[in-house]
Amino acid sequence: MTACSAAPDGAPEAGSQATAPAAEQKAKAVLTVTPSSGEGISPAGPFEVGMIGGALTAVVLTGADGRVVKGELSAGRWVATEDLGYDKAYTWSGSAKGEDGTDVPVTGSFRTIKPQRLTGAKLNVGDHQTYGIAQPVKVTFSAPVADKAAVQKSMTVTTSVPTEGAWAWLSDQEAHWRPREYWKPNTEVSVDVGVYGVPFGGGAYGASDLHVQFKIADRALVAKANTQTKRFEIYRDGVLLHNFPASYGMENDKRAETRGGIHVVQQKQAARTMTNAVFGYKDIPVTWAVLISQNGEFVHENNNTIPKQGKENVSHGCANLSGANAKIFYDLTMLGDPVEVVGSSQPLQASDGDYYDWAFDWATWTSKSAATS
Enumerate the active-site residues: 300, 318
Quote the CA–CA distance of 223 and 234 in Å, as a whole number.
4
Task: Quote the Cα angle for 190-194-197, to 5°.
Answer: 175
- Please check whether residue 56 is in contact with residue 76, taking contact to mean a CB–CB distance below 8 angstroms: yes
Residue 150, classed as helix, strand or coil, is helix
- Closest by Cα among 225, 243, 245 to 305: 245
Bridge partners for 52 per DSSP? 30
Residue 24 makes CB contacts below 8 A (sequence gap 6+) with none
Q: Is 336 left (phi over 0), alpha (psi -120 to 50) or beta?
A: left
Quote the CA–CA distance of 224 and 81 in Å, as a whole number.
49
Quote the CA–CA distance of 355 and 233 in Å, as a whole number.
21
